[in-house]
A and B are shown apart, each in its own frame.
Chain A
């Protein structure tokens, strides 16, 4: 059974203070690793897909990286509007469903 563990559960940063969120995964044949952002009461917003170890993707202040066992979401010089829950999910080649981690709740303090 696919498993995803995210850490930390919650993270408070000062505006401009860079940090990283971790996603460890166990999957039988990784099809893709996905990062989403979710604001309270709203649907997850797609950020990145990573398919193979060594792959990196960037979008504004966010950069996602992937190894064979984990993924990191690096946030550089964050702003208050980056405050949200960041979800990591995996899918395997046997099916298309996403298995999510419990997320990291990020708060950026002005």
Chain B
């Protein structure tokens, strides 16, 4: 079965640079979620989109923005990167807001 696809899988950036993470949800899923997981921590909700509209917002810094496109893929844009932004970033998708299926994640390292 098709799963959530994330790219890139690994990303290394310097402080103050910009990063763009991409997520391709499971086909026919209507909701996309973004989570951030720091080392040894649980995933923290950032933002979600339902049918291309922002549906919920969590502890997402103002330096971050996201959108969902007409083909349902989503992008998380991160600017003015800080060392503390180093983490695993997961995208998840769901149908009718039930079970969320997670992608493999993007490991972002800020140096």
Partner of B48 from A34, A45, A87, A97 at Cβ < 8 Å: A97
Complex Cα spacing A95 to B58, Å: 11
Chain A residues with a Cβ under 8 A of chain B:
32, 34, 36, 41-46, 49, 87, 95-103
Q: Assess the B105–A42 pair: CB atoms within 8 A.
A: yes
A95 to B4 Cα, complex, angstroms: 21
Whether B98 lies near A32 (C-beta < 8 A) is yes
Interface of A, secondary structure class, is loop
**Chain B residues touching A, majority SS:** strand
A34 to B102, CA, bound (A): 13
CA distance A32 to B98 in the complex (A): 8
- B contacts, CB < 8 Å to A: 4, 31, 33, 35, 41-45, 48, 50, 55-56, 58, 88, 90, 94, 97-105, 107
Contact A97 B42 (CB under 8 A): no
> A41-B107, A44-B90 are known contacts. Are A99 and B45 too (CB-CB below 8 A)?
yes
The residue of chain A having its C-beta at the shortest distance from the C-beta of B107 within the complex is A41
Q: Are A96 and B48 within 8 A (Cβ)?
A: yes
Nearest chain B CB to A22 CB, angstrom units = 15
Residues of B near A97 (CB, < 8 A) are: 33, 45, 48, 56, 58
- Cβ contact of A46, chosen from B33, B48, B102, cutoff 8 A: B102
